[in-house]
Structure 1
Amino acid sequence: MSDTILQQLDEDGVLLITLNRPEKKNAFNKEQWVAFREAINAAKDSPKVACVVITGAGKDF
C-alpha cells in the first residue's frame, strides 16, 4: 500500500482513509488513485468495515 493513502480501522468498524499528500493539497496522482481504489475495494470486501470516512492530511481535503 502506498503511503499516499493512510488507513485506520476502529473497533466499531469505522475505516478512516486519509489522503496523505498535504504538500500537493492532497491532489490525486496515479499512485494515489491506485492506492485509493485498493483501499475502497478492500473495505467493500471486509466484513469488519461498517462505514468509510475519507479525509485529507493537513489543511486541504
Structure 2
Amino acid sequence: MKPYPCRHSVAKFDLTLNAAEEGDQIVCNLEYADRLFKKETIRPDGEAFHSAYRRHVGKSKG
C-alpha cells in the first residue's frame, strides 16, 4: 500500500472508499473528514481493508 495523489482537498462525506481499475491494477482512495478522524486512527482501517482485499483477491485467483 502506498499513498496516491488525490485531487480533492476536502472530503465530501465522513468516510468514502473509491476503487477504480487502472490497467491491470485496482487503485483505491480512502477519503475521510479530518474533523472526525485523525490520520493515525484512520490508517489502521485502510490497512485492514487492504489486507481483506488481498485475501479476497488471492482466493479468487488461486
Judge same fold: TM > 0.5, yes or no: no
The structure showing larger relative contact order (alpha-carbon pairs under 8 Å, at least 6 residues apart) is: 1
TM range (shorter): 0.3 to 0.5
The TM-score with structure 2 as length reference comes to: 0.39
Higher share in helix: 2
TM-score normalised to structure 1 length: 0.39
